[in-house]
Amino acid sequence: MKSFSLDLRKRLVAGRRRGQSAEELARLFGVSKRSVERFWKRHVQEGTVEPKQRGGYRRSRLEGHDEVLHQWITQQPDLSLEEMCERLSKQLDIRIGTTALWHRLEKLGLSYKKNASRRRARAA
């Protein structure tokens, strides 16, 4: 869903400033009453009605701890993702999911050796 245009947001705030009710503006502009209230509240508190950023880059919680991850994998190559998540939680106070950890390891080019007993059965 796209954000409402800045022009519409400014018109809604201007209408509230003139004393029109949120319900009246919602009906007039075809938006929800809640949207009008939300734009007005943001205008009053922050002085802006511009939409917040949607999507984009999010920094990893593991940023700055790449060397630690590398050391753990070097010292114990069969360390599982779950075990690494537990270590991160206990030693570095970072709570992160296994998928996010896996993505970080992949981005860094780090891999860990899987336990032979967990591998799929192969032909003898």
Q: What is the DSSP string of 37-81?
A: HHHHHHHHHHS--PPPP-S-----TTTT-HHHHHHHHHH-TT--H
Query: What is the predicted pLDDT for the residue at 77?
Result: 82
Per the prediction, the chain carries an average pLDDT of 87
**Other beta carbons within 10 Å of 49:** 19
Phi and psi angles of residue 29, each rounded to the nearest 5 degrees, phi first: -100, 0
Backbone angles phi, psi at 118, to 5 degrees: -90, -10
Percent helix, strand, coil in the chain (nearest 5)?
55, 0, 45
Residues of the chain predicted below pLDDT 50: none
